[in-house]
């Protein structure tokens, strides 16, 4: 038994959407009592710390309906069924920024909201960027504006809450530590 493991007794599907699904699990706790867990299932995603030849961080600004505002983020996107994270990373970098890269380095994988979701993000660093001649189209419901900023500008965006998500704040910290 894993430390603090909660054994699933029953699982009730609640919703199955295009991107996520929601279920409620009845679990037995480590102390033998029972509880319920609401869990969002997500296929996983990638995020890319894309660095220009000038050492700038490539960001995209887009509207996030869940927050009811625009935020600035590193390029990212959902894994397609059976797709390797590195393939997704290259595709999303091209779609969202118009850049390709000659060097794509896997950095790490982390959970986004482990209290209620199983989503993980596979984080990559993209270097030796080049402009794509014929840029892939964004998804039909995706609207982004491209930004290229210095580490100092990105830090200020965190302070101003233009950068408001954990993956991008992590990327800024990583850039600062790896200057």
> What residues act catalytically?
140
β-sheet bridge partners, residue 124: 48, 106
Tell which residue, 137, 172, 176, 168, has the closest CA to residue 61.
Answer: 168
Q: Which of 167, 148, 171 is nearest to 97 (CA)?
A: 148
In the three-class reduction of DSSP (H, G, I as helix; E, B as strand; rest coil), residue 160 is classed as: coil
Cβ–Cβ < 8 Å for 37, 24: yes
């Amino acid at each position: 038994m894993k430390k603090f493991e909660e054994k699933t007794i029953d699982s009730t599907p609640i919703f199955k959407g295009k991107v996520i699904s929601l279920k409620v699990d009845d679990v037995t706790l480590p102390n033998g009592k029972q509880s319920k867990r609401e869990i969002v299932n997500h296929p996983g995603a990638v995020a890319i710390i894309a660095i220009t030849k000038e050492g700038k961080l490539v960001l995209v600004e887009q509207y996030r309906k869940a927050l009811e505002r625009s935020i600035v983020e590193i390029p990212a996107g959902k894994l397609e069924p059976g797709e390797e994270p590195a393939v997704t990373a290259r595709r999303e970098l091209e779609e969202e920024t118009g850049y390709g890269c000659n060097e794509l380095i896997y950095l790490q994988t982390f959970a986004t909201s482990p209290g209620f979701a199983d989503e993980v993000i596979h984080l990559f660093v993209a270097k030796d960027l080049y402009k794509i001649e014929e840029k892939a189209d964004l998804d039909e419901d995706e609207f982004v504006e491209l930004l290229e900023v210095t580490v100092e500008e990105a830090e200020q965006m965190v302070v101003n809450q233009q950068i408001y998500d954990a993956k991008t704040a992590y990327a800024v910290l990583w850039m600062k530590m790896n200057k």
